């Protein structure tokens, strides 16, 4: 099983690199849109409530429209970034399952991070990214979604990042941030290889 996991990881590396590159490109674009959004918000705050002539009033309307477009673009980039991050977590979790079986307890914990371990961040992060729309916090019968306890603890440490209240959203990029993978593909590779017990080739 170990060889199969290693082979799979080696086969998907070019796709992982493409996902990582796409994530970074979208993150940079999102950062630029945030700067534009802040500039438009500052302009609105400056002009709002002031007595304006027709030309200035038209400028204010254009700025409002730009701000709305900025906010829609930021929402879109959030979705795109979390889709790429979720796909990366899916691959990592799949490799762990190939090596150690389908139960989380079968995989080694790996390095400690954010009050937990990389195994749990990957496993629960992947599950949350793939199934966040069906999050169950405290159902009348049965159990809460597997990631809720960990994410609630993380949200105490990092407020407003691992929020477990409706409307639910993917926290995949936040998981990658905690793992140190968002800006470092080499960290991702090192962690995966440590979990399956192989050295870089």
- Name the residue range of residue 81's domain: 2-196
Question: Domain for residue 201, yes or no?
Answer: no
- Across the range 12-35, mean pLDDT stands at 96
How many domains does one find in the chain?
A: 1
Question: Domain for residue 137, yes or no?
Answer: yes
Of the CA atoms within 13 Å of residue 15, those in its CB half-sphere come to 13
pTM confidence score: 0.89
Q: What is the DSSP string of 63-85?
A: HHHHHHHHHHHHHHHHHHHHHHH
The 10s digit of each residue's pLDDT in 136-191 is: 988 777 788 889 999 999 999 999 999 999 999 999 999 999 999 999 999 999 99
Question: Domain for residue 91, yes or no?
Answer: yes
The 10s digit of each residue's pLDDT in 31-70 is: 999 999 999 999 888 877 777 777 777 888 899 999 999 9
The 10s digit of each residue's pLDDT in 113-145 is: 999 999 999 999 999 999 999 999 887 777 888
Question: Domain for residue 150, yes or no?
Answer: yes
As a whole number, the mean pLDDT across the chain is 91
Question: Domain for residue 151, yes or no?
Answer: yes
């Amino acid at each position: 099983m170990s060889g199969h996991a290693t082979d799979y990881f080696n086969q998907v590396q070019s796709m992982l690199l493409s996902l990582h590159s796409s994530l970074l490109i979208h993150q940079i674009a999102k950062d630029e849109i945030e700067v534009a959004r802040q500039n438009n918000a500052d302009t609105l705050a400056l002009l709002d409530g002031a007595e304006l002539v027709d030309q200035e009033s038209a400028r204010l309307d254009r700025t409002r429209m730009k701000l709305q477009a900025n906010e829609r673009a930021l929402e879109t980039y959030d979705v795109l970034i979390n889709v790429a991050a979720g796909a990366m977590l899916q691959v990592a979790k799949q490799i762990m399952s190939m090596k150690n079986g389908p139960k989380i307890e079968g995989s080694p914990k790996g390095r400690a991070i954010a009050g937990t371990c990389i195994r749990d961040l990957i496993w629960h992060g992947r599950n949350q990214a793939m199934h966040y729309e069906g999050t169950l916090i405290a159902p009348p019968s049965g159990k809460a979604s597997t990631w809720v306890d960990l994410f609630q603890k993380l949200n105490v440490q990092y407020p407003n990042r691992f929020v477990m209240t409706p409307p639910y959203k993917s926290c995949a990029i936040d998981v990658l941030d905690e793992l140190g993978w968002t800006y470092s593909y080499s960290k991702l590779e090192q962690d995966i290889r440590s979990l399956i017990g192989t050295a870089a080739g």
